[in-house]
Amino acid sequence: TLFVFRTPSSFYTFTNGTLALPAVPVTHATGAASFRHFTALDGVQYLATANYWDGFSTAVVSTVARFDPETADAAEIVSMVSTEGATAWEYFRVQNGTLPALEFLAVANFAGKSQVFRWDAVAARIQSVTIVKPGNNYLPGILKI
């Protein structure tokens, strides 16, 4: 039996703890496991979507899109990454003394190796970096920057 499981993902906004409707759909979310909202050092906001399964395979594309907080729109995709059952994104910064902070995005993959990317705020896209002994499934990895 082939099970096709696709549930549309949407944004819901809350005002003073009250749910505001209607929901804003996220069109590039296919079998999304989670979302990560982050603000880059340049002040631009983004939404990273961890797509887990498209109904047939965990080998899917996860995305990073520019996010407009006024309209809750995240339709402008700036980066796409091949993932294998992505479960979560994490955004973090590394500061080295007086040098400018470096920005990174990490994606946890259930069915493959987790990945860490350097975030290029000027180009608004991700760049690959090195992972030493990346984790698989639920196992953590060791990051070398």
Question: What distance in Å separates the CA atoms of residue 143 and residue 145, rounded to the nearest whole number?
Answer: 6
Nearest to 112 by CA among 87, 142, 84, 88: 84
Looking at 61-140, list the stretches that DSSP marks H as alpha helix, in order from N- to C-terminal side.
none
- Neighbouring CB atoms inside 10 A of 85's CB total 20
Q: What is the pLDDT of residue 4?
A: 47
Between 78 and 18, residue with greater pLDDT: 78
Q: Which residues are paired to 132 by β-bridges? A: 142
Q: What is the pLDDT of residue 80?
A: 92
Question: 91-137 pLDDT, tens per residue?
Answer: 999 988 898 889 999 999 998 888 889 998 878 888 866 554 555 55
121: left (phi over 0), alpha (psi -120 to 50) or beta: alpha
pTM score, whole prediction: 0.80
Question: 40-71 pLDDT, tens per residue?
Answer: 999 999 999 999 988 889 999 999 999 988 88
Q: Which residues are paired to 64 by β-bridges? A: 48, 79
Query: How far, in Å, are 15, 21, 111, 114 from residue 50 at the CA level?
Result: 26, 24, 13, 12
